[in-house]
A and B are shown apart, each in its own frame.
Chain A
Amino acid sequence: MHNEVWTFSDYIMLVISAIFINNILLIRFLGNCPFLGTSKRMDTAVSMSLAVVFVLTCTGPITWFIQHYLLEKYDIVYIQTLAFILTIAVFVQLVEMVIKKISPPLYRALGIYLPLITTNCAVFGTCILNIREKFNLMQTIVFSFSSAVGFGLALVIMAGLRERFNFARIPKNFQDTSIGLITAGLIGLSFYAFQGLVK
């Protein structure tokens, strides 16, 4: 854990770095399954982004607690993957139940993408990164949230572009997923332009 005290501007840096410079989808290339799967229409993309923001902001701190107060204490860090996936799965299940009870329209809008967050490697990846970067609790919460926002940003950009594909003349061999992957790569390249933003 970092011992020096983080100022407010440090947190701003962390947020910008998580959203733009080290965007979880476009630079780290984690969570590409929903990136291609849910980016065909804008409304599903927005719902998916919101669901990921919600789940990640909650599971980030919880896995941090599990790591520091259970796994490290008993010297069994090697079952980290198992423990984290269990936590994420349980949490997604819980969120699903709560949403189903509180807001059935939202539950219907999210559909299959809500349970699919369980296997979204962007969520698991961020939890692992929290540990690897030796963040403290506050940093973990901020990083988890902004990482999910970065996920949402990339997904919404992608959905905006893919909605346009309906009106573009794409050669037959490049249609659908192929052009999706090419576009993902090009957006990723353009996001490299943010590299010089923060040291």
Chain B
Amino acid sequence: MGGILQATIYPIMVMGGLAVVFALMLGIASRVFYVYVDPKVKAVEELLPGANCGGCGFAGCSDCAAAIVAGKAPVTACVACGTDIHEQIAQILGKTVEVKEKEVAHIMCQGTKDKAKRRFQYMGIEDCRAAVVVAGGDKECQYGCLGLGTCVRSCPFGALSMGENGIPVVDRDKCTGCGTCVRVCPRGIPKLLPVSQKIVTVCNSHDAPPVVKKLCEVGCLGCGICKKVCPEKAIELENFLSVVDPSKCTLCGKCIEKCPTGAIRQILPG
């Protein structure tokens, strides 16, 4: 009888004793090492998309939420979520939203396999960043898209896909404008454009006109014809590359007619 009592009582006593000691220890520790966490941070974090794309400039969504609540970042810091989410975040914090137009990425190169010349056949690692290290990439144009799909693989929202001709295509519905592709591209070819911008010079080359003419059939020469014909003065030349200012552009289409290479294009229906 004593044996059975021992066999049942001792383990219960020991485990119970240990549990009580540990519970007390943790209880005291949680008081001593108590860290206040603002409940707003949790609420904001739940509203954010949770893709940890880094488009806001913080390490992840939870970091971004903490910064928004602390006032170090604006309520619109998250570029990946829509204005309705921004409004909800502002509501939690009792702030108002300043409306900013949504941006989407656009691949600023049209130098497809048949239109842009190649210097050699690249057979290395399938990654643009690696290809750039090998003698500056296989494309003659040092500003052009290498088409190995680093941006396609890095897009956290699956908005990019590789086109048949070796230039990535942006799905404008899926693109959130987080800018991950802009950051990973070794040549900075994707650019964030306001979602309403319709006319754009789809080229990234800052080479002088004769160089571009030799290397690519569809590159912006930097000739300045578009600048001359534009009645609204919406086009500027920046180092042999024409840039359209969407706030001035009226979609008259004169630049598209006159462009000798077709680099300037209407990317959205009027």
The answer to whether A101 touches B15, judged by C-beta atoms less than 8 angstroms apart, is: no
The answer to whether A97 touches B14, judged by C-beta atoms less than 8 angstroms apart, is: no
The answer to whether B30 touches A75, judged by C-beta atoms less than 8 angstroms apart, is: no
Can you list 20 residue pairs at the A/B interface with Cβ under 8 Å?
Answer: A66-B18, A70-B18, A74-B14, A76-B10, A79-B11, A79-B15, A83-B15, A86-B15, A87-B18, A87-B22, A90-B22, A94-B25, A94-B26, A97-B33, A100-B33, A101-B32, A101-B33, A101-B34, A102-B33, A169-B125
A8 at the interface (CB under 8 A from B): no
Interface residues of chain A, those whose CB is within 8 Å of chain B, are 66, 70-71, 74-76, 79, 82-83, 86-87, 90, 93-94, 97-98, 100-102, 104, 108, 167, 169
Q: Which of B10, B19, B33 is close to A74, meaning CB atoms less than 8 Å apart?
A: B10
- Chain A contact residues: helix, strand, loop or mixed: helix
Chain A residues positioned under 8 Å from B13 (CB to CB): 74
B35 at the interface (CB under 8 A from A): yes
Known contacts A74-B10, A76-B10, A167-B125; A86/B19 CB under 8 A:
yes
Chain B residues positioned under 8 Å from A86 (CB to CB): 15, 18-19, 22
B208 at the interface (CB under 8 A from A): no
The 5 residue pairs across chains A and B that have the minimum distance between CB atoms: A101-B33, A90-B22, A97-B33, A74-B10, A76-B11
Chain A residues positioned under 8 Å from B26 (CB to CB): 90, 93-94, 97
B99 at the interface (CB under 8 A from A): no
Among residues of A, the one whose C-beta sits closest to the C-beta of B130 is A167
Chain A residues positioned under 8 Å from B30 (CB to CB): 97
Known: A86-B22, A102-B33. 16 other contacts (CB 8 A): A70-B14, A75-B10, A76-B11, A76-B14, A79-B15, A87-B22, A90-B22, A90-B25, A90-B26, A93-B26, A94-B29, A97-B29, A97-B33, A98-B33, A100-B33, A169-B125
0/1 per residue, B195-234, Cβ < 8 Å to A?
0000000000000000000000000000000000000000
Chain A residues positioned under 8 Å from B33 (CB to CB): 97-98, 100-102
The answer to whether A83 touches B14, judged by C-beta atoms less than 8 angstroms apart, is: yes
The answer to whether B18 touches A71, judged by C-beta atoms less than 8 angstroms apart, is: no
What is the CB-to-nearest-CB distance from A183 to chain B, in angstroms, rounded to a whole number? Answer: 19
Chain A residues positioned under 8 Å from B32 (CB to CB): 101
- C-alpha gap A77/B180 in the complex (Å): 56
The answer to whether A98 touches B29, judged by C-beta atoms less than 8 angstroms apart, is: yes
0/1 per residue, B85-113, Cβ < 8 Å to A?
00000000000000000000000000000
- C-alpha gap A97/B31 in the complex (Å): 10
- C-alpha gap A70/B30 in the complex (Å): 26
* Interface-central residue, A66, A97, A100, A101, by most chain B CB under 10 Å: A97
The answer to whether A83 touches B18, judged by C-beta atoms less than 8 angstroms apart, is: yes
- C-alpha gap A86/B11 in the complex (Å): 14
**CB interface residues, B 110-149, toward A, < 8 Å:** 125, 130
What is the CB-to-nearest-CB distance from A61 to chain B, in angstroms, rounded to a whole number? Answer: 16
What is the CB-to-nearest-CB distance from A136 to chain B, in angstroms, rounded to a whole number? Answer: 22
The answer to whether B35 touches A82, judged by C-beta atoms less than 8 angstroms apart, is: no
Chain A residues positioned under 8 Å from B22 (CB to CB): 86-87, 90
- C-alpha gap A71/B17 in the complex (Å): 12
Chain A residues positioned under 8 Å from B29 (CB to CB): 94, 97-98
